[in-house]
Amino acid sequence: MTTDTARLQAPHADRAPDSGRPVMPRGARLRPLSLTDVRITAGYWAELQHRNQSAILPHIDHWLERTGWLGNFDAAREHRLPAGRAGREFSDSEIYKFLEAMAWELGRRPDPALQRRFDAIVARIAAAQEPDGYVNTRFGRPGQEPRWSDLEMGHELYCVGFLLQAAVARIRTGHPEDLLVEVARRAADLVCDVFGEDGIESVDGHPQIESALVELYRATGDRRYLEQARLFVDRRGHHVLKEIEFGREYFQDDIPVREAEVFRGHAVRALYLAAGAVDLADETDDGALREAVARQWRRTVARRTYITGGMGSRHQDEAFAEDFVLPPDRAYSETCAGVASVMLAWRLLLAEGDPAYADLIERTLFNVVSTSPSADGRAFFYANTLHRRELGGPADPDRPSVRAAASLRAPWFEVSCCPTNVARTLASLAAYVATADEDGLQLHQYMSGTVSHSRADGQELRVTVTTEYPYDGEIRVRIDSRADRAWSLSLRVPGWATRGASVTVGADTRPVGPGTLTERRVWRPGDEVVLRLPMTPRFTYPDPRIDAVRGCVAVERGPLVMALESVDVPRTASVDALRVDVSAPPRVVDGQVVVRFHGLASRDHNWPYSARGDEHKPEQPIKTADIPLVPYHAWANRGPSTMRVWLPVDATRA
Amino acid sequence: MTTDTARLQAPHADRAPDSGRPVMPRGARLRPLSLTDVRITAGYWAELQHRNQSAILPHIDHWLERTGWLGNFDAAREHRLPAGRAGREFSDSEIYKFLEAMAWELGRRPDPALQRRFDAIVARIAAAQEPDGYVNTRFGRPGQEPRWSDLEMGHELYCVGFLLQAAVARIRTGHPEDLLVEVARRAADLVCDVFGEDGIESVDGHPQIESALVELYRATGDRRYLEQARLFVDRRGHHVLKEIEFGREYFQDDIPVREAEVFRGHAVRALYLAAGAVDLADETDDGALREAVARQWRRTVARRTYITGGMGSRHQDEAFAEDFVLPPDRAYSETCAGVASVMLAWRLLLAEGDPAYADLIERTLFNVVSTSPSADGRAFFYANTLHRRELGGPADPDRPSVRAAASLRAPWFEVSCCPTNVARTLASLAAYVATADEDGLQLHQYMSGTVSHSRADGQELRVTVTTEYPYDGEIRVRIDSRADRAWSLSLRVPGWATRGASVTVGADTRPVGPGTLTERRVWRPGDEVVLRLPMTPRFTYPDPRIDAVRGCVAVERGPLVMALESVDVPRTASVDALRVDVSAPPRVVDGQVVVRFHGLASRDHNWPYSARGDEHKPEQPIKTADIPLVPYHAWANRGPSTMRVWLPVDATRA
């Protein structure tokens, strides 16, 4: 095994020293900051990162060994495949996502034990790599299907993509000569040989490698990877894959990326592809391509997105449904689609600066990504339903669950993409907090910690943020750096803060509305900007075209979507027999959001449809109770329960 | 090939001469009448039967050859399998259902050409049968998987079941020595050998053979078949099949039939199994088993059935969802589940006499089974959605559609169970009209035609029914027979006729309510009973627990569920922007049901959820229009359209 060290060290002049940015577009409007530029020190996000480090990562490590998915690489080295290969066709990708998570974690703080574990796993992968760079435990050996023989569903390039992403994380955290980088580059070079201009004119059924190739180009400067990403993006949509039962829309091979109007088909596939297309657009100055994706994003957000930020309404093909088809009970809202949506919105935010992208990131991080892991970090939601009607027992702690059994957190899944995706996202969370541009700093998400940036002119900008957000609306930003010249501090006022937000700068307090709030001045150390966001809980109504939640309201507080959980309902296991009294606004009592409900007496009839006045009287609420709601992301942590996000309104009081 | 003619001619003393009854329970309360006892002469059902004979059956014949599914039997005979075998693992069953349809058709009227075609197909099947009786083109040959190696999904016994059903149809239409009967008995005997008391202790993943074995027992008197059916019914539910992704509930192997509380899992599987269990209960005087099924039926009808009678809410696993989960847009409501539901309700009706069973049969025949075939009989719905949001183009007339593309009628499907199931049901439709008991005749469904019955005492009872039902509510029953003694004529007053129904006997007219209306007297030829059912269209409200249609009404007229179709909506292609004015009752204008709507102005927002008073004003209806509805079963016959059964109510006028 050799490495092309000359090429590895090739100069890529326009790049700052890489130190932990998941995305590094060249021409973007906003520059991402690194995991060391942004430090999360306390509060909600710090707890999530701690949970990731102390529980989620060891849990994943345990299951990757236990299931034999890591062992597949040893079996490959020892020529024991295909007999006894464990796991689905994409199981290799989980190891790569786990490595990526570890790489970001190691970029945040040294951890010799974690580093040893990382190196040991990389060695096992490297030993399984074929002389020509091919590395996949599922294809290509005697007794296995040939390489690239099932582009529709084989996930070979998808797996390579995550390998590249893990390598990019190593390069960006200071290890450009890591063995993992060598393995990844050899795999990427093979992909370029096989799928290049004169190679197989096709794509992978599961997009993902597109973004990974652009990122590898960014991290190494090798334009071949960018060119390969362009081929993959441009080929898709021209029916290059075989038709499958779910149609070509499933893997976005129905319409070219540049021509589509909305995201459709398998949600994770659609969003990974879109992220890759934005990456490509950024590096090739292709404004038309980026605008095509942004247009699809806008329509998808306006018509195909759950209130949680979740995407994907269909279990059958894990797919987007038609406009306004957003059933809460069959919400698929896959955790990985949430991760992919954050990746996409972040890329669009960097490119365009529109706070709407950061709004969706916030919503998705608090209400999808946060919802997946249990409070102890040892179980996960794969899908994130918004309505559970039946009590479910706990998932079997001793074996993988079927992914579609999605209404319970489970320790592991036969298709276990979500836990590792959560882990790599939480490990790199700081990267999504803030950006910089020529003029100053932009804070997009609020957490307690520090944000710093060394400007091109050598000036150091640094602020400390103190907040208990999302439980409290006060966000205190203190300037720590001394600068001679004026610079801008920008804060996002979330889209949900339509009234009641204010900002205090010095002695001056004034109301502010949703959007970007920019204060430009010569800042002195100790100067403070205090943003106060309105944390009064509120009723939220759906667009009347969303049939599935007609006559219902949701309750939100700040960025958190709230849920009614049966463990909080007196004397009943069901949440479905309650009607909200919208004449009584939701209140905060002892830190809990409390809503007034009327119990509904429902009788069974032989046939559940009738003329009014016959069997079905208008609903007759019978009892009144004030019941606390929980943040949606926290539900299902207190034993089996039923749950609703969308609450039917008591029509007699509306 | 030999046949056990001695056994074929064994006496089964308690059986009347068989002449065309799809179901012949021994101990039932009501006796079914045959296809010659009941003659449908005009009107709705006669048109359907004519369409079946003139268009549907030739269409099926064409596609069975064109797809090569029939050719598979020739390939088997010529030892050309498995190379080039066409179709899915259950394709043999379509040929058997087609034969069953032809058998009933031939039982109604002689047709030499049809008889020749029938014989030719049977000869091809017989030639493919193995010496030991095995007949299946998908398993058991060199290069194929072994026999019975995939009980979960292989459908081998399912295919045998339909072979037996076709043979039963031949026996009951006067051909007990038909070659098809011989083929079927040899196949059934092999099943008993292989799966008997000392054989493989398992069942088929797709129930169906249970009912077929009991029917073959009824038709032949061979108790071995009954015993085998008992083994299959009793084994299921004890985890005898391997777990699959959808869980054991999918094929009802989660809970024994006797212990279950409700139908669950794959809807067609659940309903075929239940029908077989009722057949078994009838022949073994097992009241507890029948009551267990009846109890599950009652809960399913009260909580898991669409207003059309359709069953099954989930596309993913073609399954029942939880109680009250009945989304109109994702209604699966498979046509075959409608057929199976009719089969089951008919068995329960014969056993118990409760008109609720006939009510569901009526609803399902008019609104599910009738909906599947197009007006020209050359395209079919596989699933029967209750809400279509997007215009769809016509299905490709030249190739099979994917079954899940269910919102359009298609000429054929890769999984094409529905067209043949419709055909065998329509061919035997007369059997579901009426029954007899010791005391007289019972009319359960209303069509123009004659019903006759020779009582055990030799007395001939005969009536002529004249009606334009379901388009008119007057049903005129004239007595044709002369009898010395009093007998009872019973008429079903449908459950939907809660007010306004009346009956006239002679000069006496009186109001009647839902249930069974019985007139007992010494009838004279020319005596008339006139039932008048209220055909005023009506608004129907859903149980408040059905989340998916909160705030909506349906419109029904008589037994017909009505639908709003976009081709009837002025100046818009969408039905989703209309709100019903429930203060204006639906009317009949020029024979059409007309409803008053208000158009709704909907604007797109960046985010479709907001506080009331911000972006989403209460809905502001802007225009008023009276729009005709169509019977649901007739929709999608006038080009691409969008459609709703459940219509949102204009809340400002409710």
DSSP B405-472: -TTS-BS-BSS-HHHHHHHHHHHTGGGGTEEEETTEEEE-S--EEEEEEE-TTS-EEEEEEEE-TTSS
Asked if A402 and B247 come within 8 Å (Cβ–Cβ), the reply is: yes
Q: Chain A partners of B614 at a C-beta cutoff of 8 Å?
A: 498
Characterise A105 by phi-psi region: left (phi > 0), alpha (psi -120 to 50), beta (else): alpha
Q: Indicate the residue of A495, A539, A602 with minimum beta-carbon distance to B544.
A: A602
* CB-based contact A534:A497 (threshold 8 Å): yes
**Site from A308, A391, A408, A543 to mutate, B interface, most B CB atoms within 10 angstroms:** A543
In percent, the amount of chain B with pLDDT more than 70 equals 94
pTM to 2 decimals?
Answer: 0.91
Q: Where are the alpha helices (DSSP H) in A67-130?
A: 71-77, 91-108, 112-128
Report whether A471 contacts A507 (CB < 8 A).
Answer: no
Whole-number Å distance between alpha carbons of A115 and A96: 15
Q: What is the pLDDT of residue B469?
A: 97
Q: Looking at CA atoms only, how far is residue B182 from chain A in angstroms?
A: 38
pLDDT at B515 over 60: yes
pLDDT at residue B396, rounded to an integer? 78
Query: Is A541–B616 a contact, with Cβ atoms under 8 angstroms apart?
Result: yes
Closest CA to B22 of B127, B148, B139, B164: B164
Residue B401 binned pLDDT confidence (cut-offs 50, 70, 90): confident
User: B356 to chain A nearest CA, in Å?
Assistant: 9
For residue A621, pLDDT over 90 is answered with: no
* B409-424 pLDDT tens trace: 999 998 899 999 999 9
**Residues B218 and B15: beta-carbon distance below 8 Å:** yes
For residue A578, give the 3-state DSSP assignment: strand
Is beta strand B528-532 parallel, antiparallel or unpaired with respect to B440-443? Answer: unpaired
CA B21 to chain centre: 16
3-state secondary structure of A40: strand
3-state secondary structure A475-506: EEEEECCCCCCCEEEEEEECCCCCCCCEEEEC
Closest CA to A211 of A188, A194, A244: A188
Which of B250, B359, B583, B607 to mutate to test binding with chain A, by most A CBs within 10 Å of its CB?
A: B607
Q: What is the CA radius of gyration of chain B?
A: 25
**pLDDT single digits (tens) B119-166:** 999 999 999 999 999 999 999 999 999 999 999 999 999 999 999 999
pLDDT greater than 80 at residue B26: no
Sequential DSSP letters for B463-521 = EEEEE-TTSS-EEEEEE----SS-EEEEEEE-TT--SS-EEEETTEEEE--SEEEEEEE
Q: Which two tokens stand for residue B20?
A: 């065309």
pLDDT score of A25: 81
What is the Cα–Cα distance from A294 to A257, expressed in whole angstroms? Answer: 11
State the best of B609, B622, B645 to mutate against chain A, taking most chain A CBs within 10 Å: B609
Please list every residue in chain B whose beta carbon sits closer than 8 Å to the beta carbon of residue A495. 606-607
Per-residue model confidence as pLDDT tens digits over B451-480 = 999 988 888 999 999 999 999 999 999 999
| Cβ atoms within 10 Å, residue B255 | 18
What residues of chain B lie within 8 A of the CB of A266, using their CB? Answer: none
- B302 and A604 within 8 Å at the Cβ level: the answer is yes
Identify which of A486, A485, A604 has the alpha carbon closest to the alpha carbon of residue B301. Answer: A604
The mean pLDDT of B248-256, rounded to a whole number, is 96
For A135-189, how does the pLDDT look when each residue is reduced to its tens digit (9 = 90+)?
Answer: 999 999 999 999 999 999 999 999 999 999 999 999 999 999 999 999 999 999 9
A10 pLDDT higher than 70: no
Count Cβ atoms within 10 A of the Cβ of residue A195 and give its class: 0-12 exposed, 13-18 middle, 19 or more buried: buried
> How much is the mean pLDDT over chain B?
92
Tell me which residue of B450, B325, B331 sits closest to B389, measured CA to CA. B331
Between B366 and A601, the more confident residue is B366
- Indicate which of A408, A550, A579, A603 best probes the interface with B, i.e. most B CBs within 10 Å of its own CB: A550
Instruction: State whether B495 and A607 contact (CB < 8 Å).
Output: yes
Give B219 or A483, the one with higher predicted confidence.
B219
Distance of CA A256 to the CA centre of its chain: 24
Structure-token pair, residue B478: 């004239």
pLDDT confidence band for A406 (50 / 70 / 90)? low
Question: What are phi and psi for residue A626, nearest 5 degrees?
Answer: -95, 120
Strands (E), B142-235: none
Residues A347-359 have pLDDT tens digits of 999 999 999 999 9
B25-47: average pLDDT? 91
Is A573's pLDDT higher than 70?
Answer: no
Helix axes A209-220, A179-195, angle to 10 degrees: 120
Find the residue in A nearest to B605 (Cα): A302
Q: For residue A600, what is the nearest residue in chain B, using CA coordinates?
A: B544
pLDDT of residue A26: 77
Could you say which of B405, B414, B616 has the minimum Cβ distance to residue A543? Answer: B616
Q: What is the pLDDT of residues A291-346, one digit of tens each?
A: 999 999 999 999 999 999 999 999 889 999 999 999 999 899 999 999 999 999 99
| Average pLDDT in chain A | 92
How far is B499 from B513, CA to CA, in rounded Å?
A: 7
Q: Within 10 A of B637 (CB to CB), how many other CB atoms are there?
A: 15
Mark yes or no for CB contact A547/B329 under 8 Å: yes
* Helix then strand then coil, % of chain B, to nearest 5: 35, 20, 45
Rg of chain A taking only CA atoms, in angstroms = 25
Q: CB distance B616–A552 less than 8 Å?
A: no
CA distance A268 to chain B (A): 18
- Partner-chain contact A540 B389, CB within 8 Å: no
Mean pLDDT of the region A416-428: 96
Report whether pLDDT(A22) > 80: no
- Label residue A239 exposed, middle or buried (CB < 10 Å: 0-12, 13-18, 19+): exposed
Pairing of β A474-479 and β A528-532: antiparallel
Q: Which residues pair with B436 in a beta bridge?
A: B31, B441
Q: Which one has a higher pLDDT value, A57 or B603? A: A57
Of A541, A600, A616, the CB nearest to B610: A541
CA dihedral for B91, B92, B98, B100, sign (positive or negative):
negative
Question: For A410-421, what is the mean pLDDT?
Answer: 93
B589: helix, coil or strand? strand
Contact B605 A305 (CB under 8 A): no
Query: Nearest-CA residue of chain B relative to A618?
Result: B544
What pLDDT score was predicted for residue A620? 60
Residue A480 phi/psi, 5-degree rounding, is -105, -20
How many Å is the maximal CA-CA distance in chain A? Answer: 84
- The helix, strand and coil proportions of chain A, stated in percent and rounded to the nearest 5, come to 35, 20, 45
Put the strands of the sheet holding A434-437 in their side by side order: A31-32, A434-437, A440-443, A487-493, A515-521
Q: Rounded CA gap, A359 and A365, in Å?
A: 10
Of A439-443, A532-536, B6-10, the one with minimum mean pLDDT is B6-10
Report the relative pairing of strands A647-648 and A434-437 from DSSP bridges. Answer: unpaired
**Distance linking the first and last C-alpha atoms of chain B:** 72
CB A450 within 8 A of CB A480: yes
Q: Are strands A440-443 and A487-493 parallel, antiparallel or unpaired?
A: parallel
Do B611 and A498 count as a contact with CB atoms less than 8 A apart?
Answer: yes
For residue B443, the cross-strand partners are B434, B491
Alpha carbons A464 and A480: distance in angstroms, whole number: 7
Integer Cα distance of A383 and A332 in angstroms: 5
Residue of B298, B498, B600 with shortest CB distance to A544:
B600
pLDDT > 70 in chain A, percent: 94
CB-based contact A614 B498, cutoff 8 Å? yes
Which one-letter amino acid corresponds to residue B299?
Answer: R
Q: Which residues of B319-330 are buried (b: 16+ CB within 10 A; e: fewer)?
A: bbbbbbbbbbbb
Q: Which of B531, B528, B479 is nearest to B503 (CA)?
A: B531
Which of A404, A605, A609 is facing B554, going by the closest CB pair?
A609
Within 10 A of B42 (CB to CB), how many other CB atoms are there? 13
Closest to B540 in 3D by CA, of A515, A607, A83 = A607
List CB contacts (< 8 A) between B402 and chain A. Answer: 245, 247
| Cis bond before residue A82 (omega within 30° of 0) | yes
Picking from B337, B364, B345, B344, the residue whose alpha carbon sits closest to that of residue B267 is: B337
CB B407 within 8 A of CB B392: yes
Q: Both tokens of residue B387?
A: 């809400």
Nearest to B538 among A316, A548, A611 (CB): A611
Per-residue tokens: B451? 């019903």
Strand-strand pairing, B587-589 and B592-600: antiparallel
Let me know: does A147 contact A162? Beta carbons within 8 Å.
no
Whether B608 sits inside 8 A of A247 (CB atoms) is: no
Residue pairs between chains A and B whose CB atoms are closer than 8 Å: 162
pLDDT score of B443 more than 80: yes
Contact B374, B405 (CB under 8 A): no
